């Protein structure tokens, strides 16, 4: 980024961004003070804490208490505090020092919040949903980040491994002219990092859709389940990215009214453009997945019809064979029946000693067999 020598002093630019969210302040009881035993040595949830003057780091601390004391002794300075999955007692100390609203602190403790921008007095509370694509399992992992932005401080509370806020801090520290703009510059950099991480996710989703299209026409067995899982990831991504458009619209809508620096305005608009591009592409993925699911359902139905047709043909072929066997069995049954009757060893039987009995029996067998053959032939059983 280019140098911005015309920028106003950082102390004058910190408050305007906090005023961009126009939700009125809702009074609420203050966060109760932390018991004395809770103010023990700082836990590992504190990732980084530093004081900045005119965009340059002047001190680094290992505890919240030291950071608070240093900030009070440096009028015009800015504290940037980073916490990772903090304990409620840690957030309570933070809330007590910066007068954070209990509702915002409660959201930060509970997590699982929707992306949003809330204003409590001079403090902004921003919830962001980060995302990253995991190549090894071909899945999208979603994280959550809470940001408190005040007149002279920025506090970040992470509930996941993304985004990489250490990289954001290094980037801003290498650009002191931007960091000198105060807490709003830090918020911009965090928003930019979250949105930049969406690009690999979008590319990964696009690659997955291409693979699914190939599997659909190749007749893959697990393709329906993969379509469903990918559709859920797309929906979750849209739930994370769409609210960012509203957040950035709320910020950019107050540029002129609150005199936000022109260079910072450009960067925030660029972030808004990237969010819009990502959302539009993923919405296209959602429509494509619906079409793919329809095509897959049609192909599955066709394959099932073909299988049913093959089974039906096989069944018909078997029926024809059964008919033939049954017909010949019936034809052979008539002479067998006559021969069986007259083959019994009884002395007194009609026509048993008749001169033409043999010829009559053989002729009867032949006639019955021919008649049955003709009937079955007429019915196409033979």
Mean pLDDT along residues 267-290 = 92
CA–CA dist 243, 95 (Å, integer): 26
Mean pLDDT along residues 92-98 = 92
Contacts of 335 (CB under 8 A, 6+ apart): 365, 366, 368, 369
Query: Tell me, what DSSP letter sits at residue 98?
Result: H
* Secondary structure (DSSP) of 167-201: HHHHHHHT-HHHHTT-HHHHHHHHHHHHHHTHHHH
Greatest CA separation for the chain: 141
Q: Sketch out the chain's domains with CATH numbers.
A: 10-301 (3.30.460.20), 318-378 (1.20.58)
Report the SS3 class of residue 50: strand
Count CA atoms closer than 13 A to 376's CA, side-chain side.
Answer: 20
Confidence band, pLDDT 50/70/90 cuts, at residue 18: very low
Burial class (CB in 10 A: 0-12, 13-18, 19+), 333: middle
CA–CA dist 334, 208 (Å, integer): 70
**pLDDT above 80 (res 147):** yes
Give the distance from CA 169 to its chain's centroid. Answer: 28
CA–CA dist 125, 18 (Å, integer): 9
Phi, psi of 298 (to 5 degrees): -65, -45
Please write the tens of the pLDDT for every residue from 320-339.
Answer: 778 788 878 877 777 887 77
**pLDDT above 90 (res 59):** yes
Euclidean distance between the first and final Cα of the chain, in Å? Answer: 91
Alpha-helical regions (H) of 19-175: 64-72, 88-98, 102-110, 165-173
Task: Choose between 349 and 17: higher pLDDT.
Answer: 349
Contacts of 345 (CB under 8 A, 6+ apart): none
Element (H, E) at 135: none
pTM over the 0.75 mark: no
What are residue 59's DSSP bridge partners? 51
**pLDDT above 50 (res 22):** no
Phi, psi of 60 (to 5 degrees): -125, 140
Nearest to 163 by CA among 115, 196, 127: 196
CA–CA dist 361, 364 (Å, integer): 5
């Amino acid at each position: 980024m280019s140098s911005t020598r015309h920028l106003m002093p950082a102390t004058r630019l910190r408050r305007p961004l906090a005023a961009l969210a126009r939700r009125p302040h809702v009074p609420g009881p203050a966060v109760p003070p932390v018991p004395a035993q809770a103010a023990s040595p700082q836990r590992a949830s504190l990732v980084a804490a530093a004081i900045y003057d005119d965009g340059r780091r002047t001190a680094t601390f290992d505890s919240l208490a030291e950071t608070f004391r240093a900030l009070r002794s440096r009028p015009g300075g800015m504290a940037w505090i980073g916490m990772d999955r903090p304990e409620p007692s840690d957030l309570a100390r933070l809330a007590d020092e910066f007068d954070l609203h209990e509702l915002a602190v409660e959201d930060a403790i509970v997590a699982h919040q929707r992306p949003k921008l809330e204003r409590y007095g001079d403090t902004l509370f921003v919830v962001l949903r980060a995302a990253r694509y995991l190549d090894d399992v071909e899945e999208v992992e979603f994280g959550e980040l809470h940001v408190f932005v005040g007149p002279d401080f920025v506090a970040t509370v992470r509930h996941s491994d993304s985004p990489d806020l250490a990289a954001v801090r290094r980037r801003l520290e290498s650009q002191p002219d931007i960091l000198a703009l105060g807490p709003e510059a830090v918020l911009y950099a965090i928003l930019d990092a979250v949105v930049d991480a969406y690009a690999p996710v979008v590319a990964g989703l696009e690659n997955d859709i291409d693979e699914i299209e190939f599997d659909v026409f190749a007749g893959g067995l697990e393709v329906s389940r993969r379509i469903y899982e990918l559709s859920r990831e797309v929906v979750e991504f849209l739930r994370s990215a769409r609210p960012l458009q509203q957040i950035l619209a709320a910020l950019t809508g107050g540029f002129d009214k609150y005199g936000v620096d022109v260079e910072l305005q450009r960067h925030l608009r660029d972030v808004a453009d990237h969010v819009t591009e990502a959302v539009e592409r993923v919405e296209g993925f959602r429509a494509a997945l619906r079409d793919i699911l329809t095509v897959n359902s049609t192909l599955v139905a066709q394959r099932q019809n073909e299988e049913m047709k093959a089974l039906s043909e096989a069944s018909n072929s078997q029926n024809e064979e059964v008919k033939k066997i049954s017909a010949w069995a019936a034809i052979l049954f008539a002479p067998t029946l006559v021969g069986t009757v007259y083959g019994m060893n009884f002395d007194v039987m009609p026509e048993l000693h008749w001169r033409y009995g043999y010829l009559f029996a053989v002729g009867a067998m032949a006639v019955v067999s021919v008649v049955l053959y003709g009937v079955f032939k007429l019915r196409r059983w033979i």
